[in-house]
Amino acid sequence: MITKEKSAITKAKSLEAERKSNSPPKSQADNYQGISPLRRRLLAGILPAVLLPLVIGGLLGYKMTESRARNQVVRKLEADALLGSKTINAFIRDSFNLASLVAANPDVIQLMRQGSDLAHEQQLIQQPILVLENEYTTRKLLTIDDNLNSYLEDIVESTAAAEIVLTESHGFNIAYSSIISDFVQSDEEWWKEAEAEGKIFEEPDEVEEPGELEELEEPEQSKKSEKGNLMAFAQAVRDPQSSKFLGVVKVDIPLKRLNSDLATYLHGANKDSVPIFQIFESDSGLILSNIEGTLQPTENQELNLEDAEVLGGKPIIEVAQILVEAAENSLSMAEAEKSIGKQSGISQVNLHEEKIFAKNSLVTSFKYQDQIFSISTVPETDFVSTSVIDYGVVASATRNLLAVFALTTIALGAIASSIIILLTKRFAKPLEELSEKTQQVRELLQEQKVLTEEQRQEKENLEIAIHKLINEVSDAT
């Protein structure tokens, strides 16, 4: 019987040992569970908080820099348009100064007086123009003063002038730099307007072609401009004492000098690229200057304007007319800007006022047909100066800026991420070590609990076996 009890106790111990052997071993990974998630949680919280402001700041910086880049292009374009307005304004002023210089010559004043007296004496005023033209066919002069003619020739040779003509108070020629086709000038619009207004200039389409007489020598002919390639400046001459009208001085200036100056100035102001540039009359669209972006400046540059058209066509001409009206105070600045903005296809309108030789000039810039235009008025004229550049130039600069900001943001993000990862690793290490120790303590407590439970179970099994043995012994006795 005792043998049976021992066998039962042994069997109980064997079952307990088998239970222990069948329990799964704890893995090494379980010992470090919670370390990686801790670092991931730190990175998930810190990285977005750092990288998101960096990305937002990069986008805002890109937008601000893009706006500044566009404004810089517009300001440069406006400066070119103003440069054109200043150049033609100086061209007109200098041309009138040349006419004034001739008009102030005492010999010119004296000859005009003599010419007027001679016209009265010979009763030429009552003669039909055709009769006078047939009578003065050789020299086309009322009086002959070779010294004064030579003086005018010298001025033409030493200045930009192509031709200078003097008339007395009735429009009869009294001197010139080279022979011309008409003897009587009083029937010409420029002469009438000069007498009435004091001074005028004629646009190229209004200027008559200088006479091409067979007796002209080749050097003289080479100084003349073809029709449409020069401007005429006429100024009335008055007696210094009595202010009596004595006659008119007319000076013809080739536009090739204006174009040469403009090309030189524009290339000097634009080292990398020159915008497309035009000067035209706002009412008629008549082009005085047309400079392409690739044109290189040359001395006395002569451009073919016959086939040239206003860039942008009718809408740009209408904008120019609005500007001229505003410059003449027919429209307010606000009304002008609103009217320009209403033009089809025009956007991003900006209008402001500048000074050209102490005179007001209106300058506008806007986008039209994938191009940026800038137009500036020429004070006291109907001319406008226009500079144009493709919007692709701004877009290209914007793309370059985008690439720079993208690379900068990526680089800064990578640097920030690396620093954050290192800092997270550094700061998380003590926490990970604490977590590891805590886990180890937790495991030891768990093992102790399991061991206690095993001992309790063994004790119970042993008590059961002893109790059973006692019962069997009692039954046996």
Mean pLDDT for 427-440 is: 69
Cβ atoms within 10 Å, residue 68: 11
Q: Sorting pLDDT into bands at 50, 70 and 90, what band is 51? A: low
Of 184-198, 199-213, 348-362, the poorest mean pLDDT is in 199-213
Which pLDDT belongs to residue 172? 96
What lies within 8 Å, CB to CB, of 363 at 6+ separation is 78, 81, 82, 351, 352, 353, 354, 374, 375, 376, 377
Which pLDDT belongs to residue 319? 95
Residue in the structure block whose two tokens are 């006659």: 247
More confident residue, 140 or 205: 140
CA dist 423 and 49 (Å) reads: 15
CA dihedral 241, 196, 181, 142 (to 10 degrees): -30
CA dist 261 and 263 (Å) reads: 6
By the 8 A CB rule, do 219 and 125 touch? no
Which pLDDT belongs to residue 44? 66
CA dist 259 and 300 (Å) reads: 8
Half-sphere exposure of 23 (CA within 13 A, CB side): 10
Whether residue 356 is predicted with pLDDT greater than 60 in this model: the reply is: yes
pLDDT in tens, 16-32: 555 545 544 444 444 43
CA dist 118 and 124 (Å) reads: 9
Mean pLDDT for 112-141 is: 92
Mean pLDDT for 440-450 is: 82
How many percent of the chain have pLDDT more than 90?
40
Half-sphere exposure of 452 (CA within 13 A, CB side): 6
3-state secondary structure of 370: coil
Measured on CA atoms in the order 57, 59, 62, 67, is the torsion positive or negative?
A: negative
Question: Distance of CA 166 to CAs 82, 138, 248, 330, 436, Å?
Answer: 34, 17, 6, 37, 110
Which pLDDT belongs to residue 361? 93
- Residues 404-437 as b/e (b if ≥16 CB within 10 A, e otherwise) read ebeeebeebbeeebeebeeebeeebeeebeebee
Mean pLDDT for 326-341 is: 90
Which pLDDT belongs to residue 2? 47
What lies within 8 Å, CB to CB, of 295 at 6+ separation is 263, 274, 301
CA dist 344 and 313 (Å) reads: 12
Q: Sorting pLDDT into bands at 50, 70 and 90, what band is 3? A: low
Residue in the structure block whose two tokens are 């007109």: 92
pLDDT in tens, 265-312: 776 666 555 678 899 999 888 888 888 765 454 444 445 566 678 989
Which pLDDT belongs to residue 211? 43
By the 8 A CB rule, do 175 and 149 touch? yes
Whether residue 215 is predicted with pLDDT greater than 50 in this model: the reply is: no
Which two structure tokens, joined as six digits, stand for 234?
């006429």
Measured on CA atoms in the order 226, 209, 191, 102, is the torsion positive or negative?
A: positive
pTM of the model: 0.68
Mean pLDDT for 135-145 is: 91
Which pLDDT belongs to residue 337? 92
CA dihedral 149, 150, 151, 152 (to 10 degrees): 60
pLDDT in tens, 180-191: 989 999 999 999
Of 53-57, 93-97, 297-301, 468-472, the poorest mean pLDDT is in 297-301
Which pLDDT belongs to residue 441? 78
Which pLDDT belongs to residue 220? 43
Of 6-10, 247-251, 423-427, the poorest mean pLDDT is in 6-10
* Among candidate residues 320, 325, 337, 334, the one with its CA nearest the CA of residue 376: 320
- The mean predicted confidence, pLDDT, of the chain is 79
